[in-house]
Chain A
């Protein structure tokens, strides 16, 4: 069974930094694209970033470009999201999700339970 477990969420002041991790198990991790998707309180789903499988190509939503960095360590089956210069509007539950393919353009067939990030002064 494929499982994803996020960690690293918490409360932080505006302008601060936070690093999220997503530990994956039960899959050939390097074969699949991995995404971060967030959901602000009471709002819909917003895609944040995706990294392709083996080549590690990265793409970002305009709202986080230049502030967030997605990366992966295929030897540790772990996905990361480094979040810098955090804003109040980055407050959300952050989900990691496994792509159905190695390419970045994919549906997401397995999701973690999410980790909460709260940005507030």
Chain B
């Protein structure tokens, strides 16, 4: 099974800050990586897939990069509405589909 390790588990940043979340896979997942945003009490929302492909309607301040085992989600200018928990998910080798443990983003 492919394990997904996300870091940090939580962060606090100021409005306008650049925020970076990393996700490491236990083996090469060949860019088969998705990022989700989940706000409290809500369903997850797909932000990016294929490591860097932005979903329609997602603000351009969100971007993804990486290859092999290491991937990054970047928010270039943190906004109050970005407060949420972010999850990565690999879909290269299934089953199982695996998620990272999540990163909780708060405003300082």
Q: Which of B43, B93, B97, B100 interacts with A111 by CB under 8 Å?
A: B43
Check A50 for interface membership: any CB of B closer than 8 A: yes
Check B52 for interface membership: any CB of A closer than 8 A: no
- Count A interface residues, CB 8 Å: 25
Q: Which of B10-18, B19-27, B73-81, B84-92 contacts A (4 or more CB under 8 A)?
A: B84-92
Check A113 for interface membership: any CB of B closer than 8 A: yes
Q: Which of B32, B43, B93, B99 interacts with A113 by CB under 8 Å?
A: B43
Knowing A50-B95, A59-B94 are in contact, say whether A111-B32 is a contact too (CB < 8 A): no
Instruction: Please state if B34 and A47 are interface contacts (CB–CB under 8 Å).
Output: no
Check B46 for interface membership: any CB of A closer than 8 A: yes
Q: Which of B34, B38, B42, B102 interacts with A107 by CB under 8 Å?
A: B34
Instruction: Please state if B87 and A44 are interface contacts (CB–CB under 8 Å).
Output: yes
Instruction: Please state if A105 and B94 are interface contacts (CB–CB under 8 Å).
Output: yes
Instruction: Please state if B99 and A108 are interface contacts (CB–CB under 8 Å).
Output: no
Q: Min CB distance, B52 to chain A, in Å?
A: 13
Residues of A within 8 A of B55 (CB): 109
Instruction: Please state if B43 and A95 are interface contacts (CB–CB under 8 Å).
Output: yes
- Count B interface residues, CB 8 Å: 26
Q: Min CB distance, A107 to chain B, in Å?
A: 4
Check B98 for interface membership: any CB of A closer than 8 A: yes
| CA distance in complex: A109, B32 (Å) | 14
Instruction: Please state if A104 and B94 are interface contacts (CB–CB under 8 Å).
Output: yes
Check A31 for interface membership: any CB of B closer than 8 A: no
Knowing A95-B44, A100-B49 are in contact, say whether A44-B99 is a contact too (CB < 8 A): yes
Q: Which of A45, A60, A95, A109 interacts with B49 by CB under 8 Å?
A: A109
Knowing A105-B32, A113-B43 are in contact, say whether A45-B99 is a contact too (CB < 8 A): yes
Tell which of A37, A107, A114 has the most Cβ of chain B within 10 Å.
Answer: A107
Check B61 for interface membership: any CB of A closer than 8 A: no
Give chain B's interface residues, CB within 8 Å of chain A: 32, 34, 36, 38, 42-46, 49, 55, 85, 87, 89, 91-102
